[in-house]
Amino acid sequence: MSPGADVADLPRILVVDDSRVVRMSLVQQLKTDYEVREESDGEAAWQTLVIDQTIKAVISDLQMPKLNGYQLLERIRSSKLRRLQLLPFILLSGEESEEERLGAQALGVSDFLTKGAGSAELATRLKNLLALTEAKENIESDREQMVQDPLSGLFTRKYLEVQVAQALSHSVRHHVETSIMVIGFDDFAGLVERLGRSVVTEVANRFARMLAGKVRHEDSLGHFGDGQFAVVSPGTAASFCYTFAERVREAVEIGRLSAGGQTIAVTISIGIASMPGDAVDSAAGLLDLAGQRMRRAMAGGGNRTEAGGVRPVMRPISINRALELLAARRSAAVRPHVAGLARQLLPLLRLIDEELGLALPLAELEQRLSERNSTRK
């Protein structure tokens, strides 16, 4: 122990052995560099490990009452607590046999030593195990930070690039398209200035949750920038991505997002890029192209979708959807669907005509719809 060092600052190690003499010997070997806690049987050690989250490693005898070393190790490795699953565990045996070694390895032991091993050997093994565990924890932490934004739970932009690369590889192998959609709130900086960062962040997170509920399981949703999101859609043609983008854009325009006890009217702009349709040679390049098109849509007035000349696939809309659009004074979005909507309404119009005796020109309506359908074919 370095001069002035506090025992509380040292890593805490649990020593488990039914022999008080062995425990005292191990404590003497370790007390310079570790704070040592002792237990005399496996069951007591298990209870200690569940309660004491500061224990960094276990050194256990093989033969003990109540719960032997094998049983303690098995219980630790099968625990639902991840810290116990990864806890360094050194098993000590008076007579190390090949059978014992293989049994311990099968249960997930970190290291296996005979009680005759010197104190230097034990200290070295323990030090290396703790260093390895710390390195693994750091890697896991870095991976989680790369993959997931801590506030929204969405993928980070860095991880999205990995997802795009994988999707493009799949596209090449299976000769299918991959599309990317980048979505941003129009005048995001102005929203922050008017409403405050916390309110706008809540609005953005609500939108992200809504979007997460609409994308496919195989799609990847993540952050692209401040107030901006990206969706990676493997196996999806740009035209179908455009259709989905328009539905999302219209839903935001017509609807209202609430935050901080107030209802907020916002619009979004969307950029779409796809491979092999767009001449881009990398995953990052494809993601950036979708972002450029989003910014172009914003510069053109916002509340629009830019896809580099690709047009959306026309899909029928429901009567309820048509009424929502009309209520929002967006009749232009309904006009392409008028014929299909009229066909849906014909049975209702016939019933209204019969009940009210209006003599509606339904035969003429059907004739017009039929002619229109023939002309389009």
User: pLDDT (tens digit, 9 = 90+) per residue, 261-284?
Assistant: 777 889 999 999 999 889 887 888
Q: Write out pLDDT tens, residues 92-146.
A: 876 656 777 777 788 888 888 877 677 788 888 888 888 877 766 665 555 555 5
157-315: CATH class? alpha beta
Residue 374 pLDDT > 70, yes or no? Answer: no
pLDDT attached to residue 46: 93
What confidence score (pLDDT) does residue 315 get? 66
The ranges of the chain annotated as CATH 3.40.50.2300 are 7-146
Output the pLDDT for position 322: 85
Residues of each domain in the chain carrying CATH 3.30.70.270: 157-315
Q: Quick one: tokens of 173?
A: 């192998």
Radius of gyration of the chain (CA): 33
Q: What is the mean pLDDT of residues 155-162?
A: 83
At 7 the pLDDT is: 55
C-alpha dist (Å) from residue 226 to 18, 80, 201: 59, 37, 9
**For residue 336, cis peptide bond before it (omega within 30 degrees of 0):** no
Tell me what the mean pLDDT of segment 371-375 comes to. 70
Question: Tokens in use for 55?
Answer: 């224990």
Separation of alpha carbons 368 and 364, rounded Å: 6
Question: What average pLDDT does the segment 349-359 reach?
Answer: 91
The rounded distance, in Å, linking the Cα atoms of 156 and 294 is 18
Share of the chain above pLDDT 70, in %: 89
Percent of the chain predicted with pLDDT > 90: 29
More confident: 325 or 151: 325
pLDDT of 343 over the 80 cut: yes
Strand segments (E) across the chain: 12-16, 35-39, 55-61, 89-93, 111-114, 178-185, 220-225, 228-234, 257-259, 262-264, 268-275, 305-306
User: What pLDDT is recorded for position 2?
Assistant: 47
Q: What is the pLDDT of residue 59?
A: 92
Buried b (16+ CB within 10 A) or exposed e, 16-35: bbbeeebbeebeebbeebbb
Nearest residue to 82 (alpha-carbon basis) of 146, 144, 12, 147: 144
Number of CB atoms found within 10 A of residue 302's CB: 14
**Is the pLDDT reported for residue 197 higher than 60?**
yes
DSSP state of 148: B
Per-residue confidence (pLDDT) for residue 317, from 0 to 100: 75
* Mean pLDDT value across the chain: 84
Region 292-317 average pLDDT: 88
Strand order in the sheet with 89-93: 35-39, 12-16, 55-61, 89-93, 111-114
Say what the pLDDT of residue 96 is. Answer: 59
Average pLDDT over residues 228-241: 91
**pLDDT, greater one: 291 or 164:** 291
Q: What is the CATH number of domain 7-146?
A: 3.40.50.2300
User: 321 vs 266, which has greater pLDDT?
Assistant: 266
Asked if the model's pLDDT at residue 4 lies above 50, the reply is no
Q: Which residues pair with 234 in a beta bridge?
A: 178
**Residue scoring higher pLDDT (161 or 180):** 180
Is residue 236 a contact partner of residue 293, using CB atoms and an 8 Å limit?
no
Residue 372 has pLDDT above 80, yes or no: no
User: pTM for the whole thing?
Assistant: 0.52
Model confidence at 150, pLDDT cuts 50, 70, 90, reads low
Question: Which amino acid, residue 370?
Answer: S
Task: Write out pLDDT tens, residues 34-90.
Answer: 999 999 999 999 999 988 889 999 999 888 888 888 899 999 988 888 888 888 999
Residue 56 confidence (pLDDT)? 92
- Distance, CA of 229 to CA of 236 (rounded, Å): 18
